[in-house]
Amino acid sequence: MTSPPPAAEEIRVMLCDDSATVRAILARLLEAEAGIRVVHRAADGKAALAALAETRPDVVLLDLEMPVMDGMTALPLILKAAPGAAVIVASALTQRGAKAAIAALAAGAVDYIPKPQGSGGGAADPAFRTELLTKVRGWARMKRRERQRATRPAVATPAPAPLRPAATARGSTARPLLLAIGCSTGGPQALATLLKRLPRLPVPVAVVQHMPAGFTAMLAEHLDRAGAMRCAEAQDGEVLAPGRVYLAPGDRHLLVEAVPGGFRARITTDPPENFCRPAVDPMLRSAARAAGGRVLAVILTGMGQDGLEGCRAVVAAGGQVLAQDEASSVVWGMPGAVTRAGLPLLVAPPEALAERIAATAAERMMA
């Protein structure tokens, strides 16, 4: 006997964790929200697999360390059995947990959440609740859009329009000397999609992804294998080389300073901005100063509006801004804020943004 068809807007969630306490914490948080229903609670990967056909979840919250069948073993089997489901892995905020979470992203998981600890633990934190609900809702929406697109006739995607300077930008036709990228929720996947489509650029690339300490080093390793450009965590004082990607370390701001012939990284413990450290705004402000405005800023998916003031500074100094579109964003907070402010030259999915960046490189950066 199968479950009745879900309501049109209902998000069906499966929990898979060997801890009954964790399952109870997550279920309590999720079921307190209208439009979300926990359809199954499994204690291991094998039990989750057995329940997939009957429960048809939109989202699977998957622990990675479990008896019988662990999460990494179960992940590809879940993806094969339920290709329309988004798998979000739960990871401890440790170096080992970070390595496992990034490995899961590389294997097909869409995102991660910190694993709640103890009887209440991190789940009592409003920030944890917000992160959990944002990712569950965002990825469920993304997967439903994918299913809808798969049932529609294929439509040719037009090539990006020729690059044109923003009406509000001063000196925006000058060739950029730096590519600066900011992102948050959904960012690891968007970054990988963007970077693997870029050639080796003749300018440095600075990236701020909202992420805890320890996770950024693992993300840098993942991105290093994703595309043509080498990627690593930025080190304080190092000169930024063209064709390399520098990721802000977790819990540290990344700033850009001018040096003769180029730029160098500054890593600081200045107070958080927009409740974030690292934050996009200080990186973009410093980049605009260091490059004399010759910056191409890209804002990808993310919650909140970090990056808005930084993009304003970039445009005011003569730089350019691109933003991810709403349809391809897990959360259209950060790119939506800069779009509503009228700052981007182009609002598009990461694939089209990569085409535009590559075209900019061919047309201007090598000029």
The terminus-to-terminus CA distance of the chain in angstroms comes to 66
Which tokens hold the place of 261? 């012939």
Cis omega before residue 278 (within 30°)?
yes
For residue 334, the SS3 value is: helix
**DSSP 8-state class, residue 111:** E
Q: Is 26 left (phi over 0), alpha (psi -120 to 50) or beta?
A: alpha
| In contact, 178 and 318? CB cutoff 8 Å | no
Burial class (CB in 10 A: 0-12, 13-18, 19+), 33: middle
Q: What is the largest CA-CA distance in the chain?
A: 71
| In contact, 280 and 208? CB cutoff 8 Å | yes
Of 232, 238, 230, 275, residue with least CA distance to 256: 238
C-alpha 241, offset from chain centre: 24
Q: How far apart are CA 17 and CA 56, in angstroms?
A: 18
Q: How far apart are CA 191 and CA 189, in angstroms?
A: 5
Of 242, 180, 254, 179, residue with least CA distance to 216: 254
The answer to whether the Cα torsion of 51, 52, 55, 57 is positive or negative is: positive
Looking only at the bridges linking them, the beta strands covering 262-268 and 253-259 are antiparallel
Which residues carry out catalysis? Answer: 184, 210, 306
| In contact, 284 and 253? CB cutoff 8 Å | no
| In contact, 363 and 163? CB cutoff 8 Å | yes
Q: How far apart are CA 146 and CA 151, in angstroms?
A: 9
